[in-house]
């Protein structure tokens, strides 16, 4: 019989194997909702829609991509099946790629984004909850490792979309579904046998859950304002670059640089929060992100790339901090916690992107992005109101 000392390396190996699998799955999964923004100038011409409707795309797509996450998180907690992860990834990949390649009109493309968003909503809460269960200590760092996969996926998406379009044309974008289908098969094997449910009864509306909801209001407001700015950058930078008569590939490269730097910011923010606590990281991220966005809009040449990288690093340094904060609010419902924190919070921000589209239509995308920079600073008062007891819970879980 193996001793505890002999079993420990094997157990740790299994933990890191599964964490790496979820991280790679997150990488592939998060690329699909981020394929279309880099192609917005092309799609606006091909499908005949305006900058206002471009902003509306992000807002409406969030209704399934983000808003359904609390429900899918609850169902994942209740039933514990691997098909939330596997089916969400595979289905979302097929629908998103097909929409880019073949949708003949704006409203059909929008409907496809809604359907594809269901897959994204199925994947996220269950996968993040499973990662949270794998690690007993340093949850900020371990969640950063998972979240960094999403950052790299978002970084690759603009380049993958534009490169495929330039080489193979619009119909060639259908080939982008292949990595998602392959990764879904890999995760199906990794999650055999299927994870057990976390909730053994249907009772969710407990005093602890109600207390978490009361504390969640400020967190959701903070996440919403931050996501308004990040979604605004994703939608409006390609449109701004098109108005400046700059190449499509250059706009895609800027978005990739932002997300790539964000991956390193994510890891740094998670590790720093384990030492300093979440509030200093969240406040510092908001201030520096706002400054970097203003700098990006006021400089040119090589500085555009540098300031965009700095923006991504600072902006996404809070991602894992927010996720762990949400799970500390709802420790017995981690899947639903991830859904509420990311899903509802990001939906609030994404819905407001339509307003940035209106500002862009009236005053130009540069002014609309300046408004986004201001909303980052507006998130600070809500961060200051976050409960100290939940902050302590993060550092002790």
Residue 386 phi/psi, 5-degree rounding, is -60, 145
**What is the chain's Cα-based Rg?**
20
Distances (CA, A) of 21 to 167, 175, 189, 324: 30, 23, 10, 20
What is the C-alpha separation between 313 and 317, in angstroms, rounded? 6
308-312: long-range contacts at Cβ-Cβ below 8 A with a sequence spacing of 24 or more? 308/254, 308/257, 308/258, 308/261, 309/257, 309/258, 309/260, 309/261, 310/261, 311/233, 311/258, 311/261, 312/257, 312/258, 312/259, 312/260, 312/261, 312/262, 312/265
- pLDDT, tens only, 156-186: 999 999 999 999 999 999 999 999 999 999 9
Q: Give the per-residue pLDDT at 372.
A: 94
Burial 79-109 (b: 16+ CB within 10 A, else e): bbbbbbbbbbbbbbbbbbbbbbbebeebeeb
For residue 124, give the nearest of 268, 331, 323 by alpha carbon.
323
Note whether 269 and 321 are within 8 A (CB): yes
For residue 255, give the nearest of 232, 275, 273 by alpha carbon.
232
Question: Tokens 């790679």 label which residue?
Answer: 24
Q: Give the per-residue pLDDT at 28.
A: 94
Note whether 329 and 390 are within 8 A (CB): yes
> What integer is the mean pLDDT of 112-132?
81
Q: pLDDT category, 5, cuts 50, 70, 90?
A: very low
Q: pLDDT category, 129, cuts 50, 70, 90?
A: confident
- pLDDT, tens only, 100-114: 999 999 999 999 988
Question: Tokens 């201001």 label which residue?
Answer: 374
196: its two tokens:
């057990």
Three-state SS annotation for 65-110 = HCCCHHHHHHHHHHHCCCHHHHHHHHHHHHHHHHHHHHCCCHHHHH
Distances (CA, A) of 169 to 162, 163, 175, 191, 199: 9, 9, 11, 36, 47
- pLDDT, tens only, 294-308: 999 999 888 999 999
Burial 292-308 (b: 16+ CB within 10 A, else e): bbbbbbeeeeeebebbb
**In the chain, what are the domains?**
15-396 (1.20.1250.20)
Q: Find the angle CA(30)-CA(33)-CA(39) to the nearest 5 degrees.
A: 125
Q: Give the per-residue pLDDT at 194.
A: 61
Q: pLDDT category, 207, cuts 50, 70, 90?
A: low
Q: Give the rounded percent of residues in the chain with a pLDDT score beyond 90.
A: 40
Residue 389 CB-density burial (10 A; 0-12 exposed, 13-18 middle, 19+ buried) = exposed
Q: pLDDT category, 99, cuts 50, 70, 90?
A: very high
Q: Give the per-residue pLDDT at 342.
A: 66
| Number of helical H runs and strand E runs in the chain | 18, 0
278: its two tokens:
């979440």
Contacts of 206 (CB under 8 A, 6+ apart): 332
């Amino acid at each position: 019989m193996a001793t505890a000392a002999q079993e420990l390396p094997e157990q740790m190996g299994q933990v890191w194997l599964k964490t790496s699998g979820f991280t790679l799955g997150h990488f592939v999964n998060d690329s699909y909702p981020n394929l279309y923004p880099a192609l917005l100038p092309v799609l606006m011409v091909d499908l005949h829609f305006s900058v206002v409707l471009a902003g509306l795309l992000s807002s409406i797509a969030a209704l399934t991509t983000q808003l359904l996450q609390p429900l899918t998180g609850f169902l994942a907690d209740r039933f514990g099946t691997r098909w939330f992860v596997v089916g969400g990834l595979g289905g979302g990949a097929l629908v998103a790629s097909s929409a880019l390649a073949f949708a003949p009109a704006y409203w059909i493309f929008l409907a496809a984004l809604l359907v594809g968003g269901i897959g994204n909503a199925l994947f996220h809460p269950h996968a993040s909850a499973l990662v949270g269960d794998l690690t007993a200590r340093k949850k900020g760092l371990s969640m950063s490792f998972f979240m960094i996969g999403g950052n790299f996926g978002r970084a690759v998406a603009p380049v993958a979309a534009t490169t495929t379009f330039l080489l193979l044309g619009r119909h060639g974008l259908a080939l982008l579904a292949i990595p998602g289908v392959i990764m879904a098969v890999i995760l199906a094997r990794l999650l055999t046998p299927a994870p057990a449910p976390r909730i053994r009864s249907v009772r969710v509306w407990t005093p602890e859950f109600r207390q978490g909801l009361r504390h969640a209001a400020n967190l959701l407001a903070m996440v919403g304002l931050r996501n308004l700015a990040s979604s605004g950058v994703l939608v409006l930078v390609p449109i701004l670059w098109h108005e400046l008569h700059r190449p499509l590939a250059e706009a895609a490269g800027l978005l990739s640089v932002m997300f790539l730097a964000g991956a390193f910011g994510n890891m740094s923010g998670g590790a720093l929060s384990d030492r300093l606590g979440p509030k200093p990281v969240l406040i510092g991220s908001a201030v520096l992100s706002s400054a970097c966005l203003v700098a990006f809009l006021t400089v040119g040449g090589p500085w555009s790339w540098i300031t965009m990288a700095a923006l991504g690093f600072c902006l996404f340094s809070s991602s894992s901090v927010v996720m762990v904060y949400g799970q500390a609010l709802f420790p017995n419902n981690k899947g639903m916690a991830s859904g509420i924190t990311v899903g509802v919070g990001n939906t609030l921000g994404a819905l407001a992107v339509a307003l940035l589209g209106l500002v862009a239509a009236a005053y130009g995308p540069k002014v609309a992005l300046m408004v986004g920079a201001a909303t980052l600073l507006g998130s600070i008062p809500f961060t200051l109101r976050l409960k100290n007891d939940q902050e302590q819970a993060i550092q002790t879980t």
